[in-house]
Amino acid sequence: MWDKKNRWSLVIFAVIVLLLVGSIVFFWMKANNEVRSIMEDQYQNQQLILTQYISSSLEELLNERVLLLEVTAKNEQGIPDDNFVSDFETIYRAAEIYYVLEFIDANGTVISGYPSANVPYGYNLYENDNEWAFEHVRKSGEVHISEPAMTMEGIFGSFVWVPVFENGTFRGTIFGIVSDENIIRQFDTASNSSNTVYLLNSKGEVIYDQSGMYGKGTSYFDHISGDEPERLDMVRAQINGMEGNGKYPDTVSNGHGQDILVSYSPVTWYNKNWSLGILSPGNEVDKIIVSVYVKLFTVTGLSVLFILFLSSQVYFILLNWNRSLEQEVEKKTHELQRSNESLVSANLKLQELDRLKTEFLSMVSHELKTPLTAMKTSSEFLLEEKCDYDTRKQLLALINRNVDRQARMVDDLLDVSRIESNRMRFEMESVDLHEVLDHSLENIRRLSEDKDIEIRADIAESLAHVRADRDKLVQVFVNLLNNAIKFTPGGGEITVSAQEVSQDEEVSQDVEISVRDNGIGIDAENLERVFDKFYQIDSTSTRKAGGCGLGLSITKGLVEGMGGSIRVESEPGKGSTFIFTLAKDRL
């Protein structure tokens, strides 16, 4: 009797235990699926932000590098005697994406280029049936980017064609080969080694594949089987210029049924519309929550043991583990939030850079259009028969000034490029400040006289010489004096002074030079940014003061390149003082 009752009690107990274990496993699996789904969504959103960052950076890089060729092609002084070779060298070293830069004359023949070892001198496009793109830019007068292809040298890349016109006559094209490897290596393309990057054109052809699984120039559709509709839909969305996330089963790389996560974003480069994608294995999400899995498995095992042997203690043990899990989840959640905040912050910075780029392009177009308008108007007057000699002389002088103005803008852009790439050369020597200042004042004398501004020099005759590059120091003085004249009203005053300074009371080590004006001054909000590249306090097309915001940036680069430092002090309505220091000559 007692044995029968005991057997039934054991059976009932076993059933209860199995039901409890089954319930725990069921709810654990359900919770696990929900957590994984949330983690996967957050992971893909982060990957999309990373993809957008890379694609926008790639787009900005490509467009800026082609813009350098456009600026070179539109040289108002015509084709240089060296057929752009010196310009090509500067752009090649600064851009870091070109395999070769060439100049092709109007007959379709390669006559110059850089680097010389990569230039096929004498190669004629017409003789080799490669003239289509050349004829296209001749007729359209616009930049054209050819589809990526394999060159004779075995380089896979895109071809950039920039037309060169002189006085309305087609003189040839500037031609550049952009290597796909040179493009991608500019960026840290993945947040970890498991990610792979690929790049498609608007036809679905592979331009770049980090994994090496797909050949360059092959159709991506050829690598997709008919039973992968999710993957086909994603590729169609990419070639249509869309962005987003997706996933598809891994049937190629022994993925054992796991999903491949995809994030993609468009890249617009002149007439080309590409799409950049980042592939991530689905187990990346599993790695993020693996620590949680360990805790859950541990809790499950301990729960079973405690239910069977120490049921009275299960409640307290589960409570302690639950607290540990909450802390772990909270910690991981905070880490994910910080990561999201960092990516959002990076996105905001990119938007700010895009806004500044737009303002800069608007400003540069204004600075280019203004002298062009003046030259066009003057040239139209010169064509009039009733235009007398004095008027012609004035108009020709006006045209000459505006040509100089545009040449200075190009020189400033090249100076900024040299400074940022650390390729600006300095010839350091002992320099007499009086001599340099006199030369600088002579350069800006007409500007100061036009506004009736008095420039006073307060430099002691016994002041020590400084160690500097003579020509660069003249450029620093001219830039600072031009800036002071620009923002000082007529009848104002500018003072240039210098003194020896030192942290050691007994031995003077540096010479401090100040350029002070009594102009409009700079408010505190803009004071810290006056040395930023392309920065204008008033960047609208209607601003009173011209320029493209490079003068003070170049000045800072030159002073620091000569081993000095520069700062500004200002108060609105009372003027500004630019102060820079240079090392005193010891000889």
> DSSP letters of 83-101?
TTHHHHHHHHHHH--EEEE
CATH of region 74-182, choose from 3.40.1190.10, 3.40.50.300, 3.30.450.20, 3.40.50.2300: 3.30.450.20
Check whether 39 has a pLDDT greater than 50.
Answer: yes
User: How much of the chain exceeds pLDDT 90, in percent?
Assistant: 12
Of the two residues 341 and 129, the one the predictor is more confident about is 129
pLDDT tier at 175, thresholds 50, 70, 90:
very high
Rounded to whole angstroms, the Cα distance separating 482 from 168 reads 34
Mean pLDDT for the stretch of residues 203-223: 80
pLDDT at residue number 191: 46
* CA distance between the termini of the chain: 118
Rounded to whole angstroms, the Cα distance separating 315 from 573 reads 75
Which amino acid is it at 363? M
Check whether 487 has a pLDDT greater than 60.
Answer: yes
pLDDT at residue number 381: 67
pLDDT at residue number 358: 62
pLDDT at residue number 314: 73
Mean pLDDT for the stretch of residues 24-32: 71
Kindly give the pairing relationship between strand 454-458 and strand 493-501.
parallel
- What is the Cβ-side half-sphere exposure of residue 388, based on CA atoms within 13 angstroms? 2
pLDDT tier at 541, thresholds 50, 70, 90:
very low
Mean pLDDT for the stretch of residues 442-451: 85
pLDDT tier at 364, thresholds 50, 70, 90:
low
Check whether 48 has a pLDDT greater than 60.
Answer: yes
Topology given in CATH for the domain delimited by 48-60+188-283: Beta-Lactamase (3.30.450)
pLDDT at residue number 155: 78
Check whether 405 has a pLDDT greater than 70.
Answer: no
Mean pLDDT for the stretch of residues 63-77: 86
- pLDDT tens-place string over residues 72-103: 888 777 888 899 999 999 999 988 888 899 99
* Global pTM exceeds 0.85: no
Task: Just give the CATH number of 359-420.
Answer: 1.10.287
pLDDT at residue number 241: 83
By three-state DSSP, how is residue 101 classified?
strand
Check whether 188 has a pLDDT greater than 60.
Answer: no
Check whether 213 has a pLDDT greater than 60.
Answer: yes
Q: Are 270 and 247 spatial neighbours (Cβ–Cβ below 8 Å)? A: no
Tell me which architecture the domain covering 429-583 has in CATH.
2-Layer Sandwich (3.30)
Rounded to whole angstroms, the Cα distance separating 546 from 483 reads 10
